[in-house]
């Protein structure tokens, strides 16, 4: 894997919206924080456009992202928000200049498809918070993004959990939103999970939907040969009137029961206030014991 150059004071970073629309007042707080880090913020030409629920048409969103992928003076591309829409444009992108001149891509949730696409080009990226969510995040969450962009990779800890499966794992970190990981199977964005540490999270899904996605990963052999599994936050999970009968962590434990690799639950990754940055593609170690779990 190739590591894009870490940021330095004075560098230009871009904000674009490859999925749902965003308003200026929703990201002004984040822009001020990025500028306080000594960065120059460049906005995509169509950033504040609106086309139904999207941040402009597919063509406009593609143009903004393509322009920033190609621009040699842009050192990081920060996605303003997730939602839905990145999958609609990813096949229209040309990564030729990006591969020649790698830069950090930052985001999570719907941006998972972009992380997977970049991973297949053997370039690291950052699964981290996006400008829309800055006002809702903990100070540590925001600082974890700053540290990661500027060259640090602080370890992440999670408390002990009754479903944890103890052990040690090493491998490249891959993953993101469970819905997207299931959705990209069979597409050019699909990733090889063999020997890697997989992390998953999701938001606003029914329990049976989540189990179906986990079954999809299992049937596609995406869970069979991983080195370890990190289960992040699953937020705003819904159930039917006829209750599903399991919690999200219980159903995940059932799906991965046939495998022997270590599994850690309740990691601070996902759609919560505490959403720490992870470098996708980075070689890392996961250590799970009775005291909890450490990713470093």
Q: For the segment 80-119, what is each residue's pLDDT rounded down to a tens digit?
A: 999 999 999 999 999 999 999 999 999 999 999 999 999 9
Residue 56: per-residue pLDDT? 98
Residue 184: per-residue pLDDT? 98
| pTM higher than the cut 0.95 | yes
Please name which of 177, 237, 176, 249 lies closest in space to residue 209, comparing C-alpha atoms: 237
Low-confidence ranges of the chain (pLDDT < 70): none
Distance CA 97, CA 90 (A): 15
Residue 95: per-residue pLDDT? 98
Orientation of helix 207-219 relative to helix 248-256, angle to 10°: 20
Q: Quick one: which H or E segment has residue 230? A: strand 228-235
Contact yes or no for 228/286 (Cβ under 8 A): yes
Bridge-based pairing of strands 167-177 and 283-289 is antiparallel
Residue 290: per-residue pLDDT? 96
Distance CA 147, CA 256 (A): 33
Contact yes or no for 259/92 (Cβ under 8 A): no
Residue 242: per-residue pLDDT? 83
Please name which of 18, 114, 98, 21 lies closest in space to residue 63, comparing C-alpha atoms: 18
Domains and CATH numbers, the chain: 12-149 (3.40.50.10740), 156-295 (3.50.30.60)
Residue 291 in tokens: 């005291």
Residue 292 in tokens: 């909890």
Residue labelled with tokens 């990733």: 191
């Amino acid at each position: 894997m190739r590591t894009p150059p870490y940021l330095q004071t004075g560098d230009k970073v871009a904000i674009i919206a490859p999925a749902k629309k965003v308003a200026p007042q929703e990201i002004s707080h984040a822009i001020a924080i990025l500028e306080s880090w000594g960065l120059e913020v460049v906005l995509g030409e169509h950033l504040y456009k609106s086309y139904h629920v999207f941040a402009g048409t597919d063509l406009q969103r593609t143009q903004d992202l393509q322009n920033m992928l190609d621009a040699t003076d842009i050192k990081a591309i920060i996605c303003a928000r997730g939602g839905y829409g990145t999958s609609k444009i990813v096949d229209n992108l040309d990564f030729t200049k990006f591969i020649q001149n790698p830069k950090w891509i930052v985001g999570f949730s719907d941006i998972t498809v972009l992380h997977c696409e970049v991973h297949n080009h053997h370039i690291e990226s950052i699964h981290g918070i996006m400008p829309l969510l800055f006002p809702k995040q903990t100070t540590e969450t925001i600082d974890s993004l700053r540290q990661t962009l500027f060259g640090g990779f602080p370890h992440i800890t999670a408390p002990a959990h009754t479903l944890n499966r103890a052990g040690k794992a090493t491998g490249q970190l891959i993953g993101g939103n469970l819905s997207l990981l299931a959705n990209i199977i069979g597409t050019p964005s699909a990733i090889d999970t063999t020997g890697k540490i997989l992390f998953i999270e999701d938001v606003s899904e029914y329990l049976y939907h989540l189990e179906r996605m986990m079954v999809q990963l299992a049937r596609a052999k995406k869970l069979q040969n991983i080195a370890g599994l990190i289960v992040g936050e699953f937020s705003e999970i819904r159930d039917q009137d006829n209750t599903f009968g399991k919690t999200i962590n219980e159903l995940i434990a059932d799906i991965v029961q046939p495998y022997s690799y270590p599994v850690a639950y309740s990691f601070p990754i996902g759609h919560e206030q505490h959403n720490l940055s992870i470098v996708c593609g980075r070689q890392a170690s996961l250590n799970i014991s009775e005291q909890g779990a450490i990713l470093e």
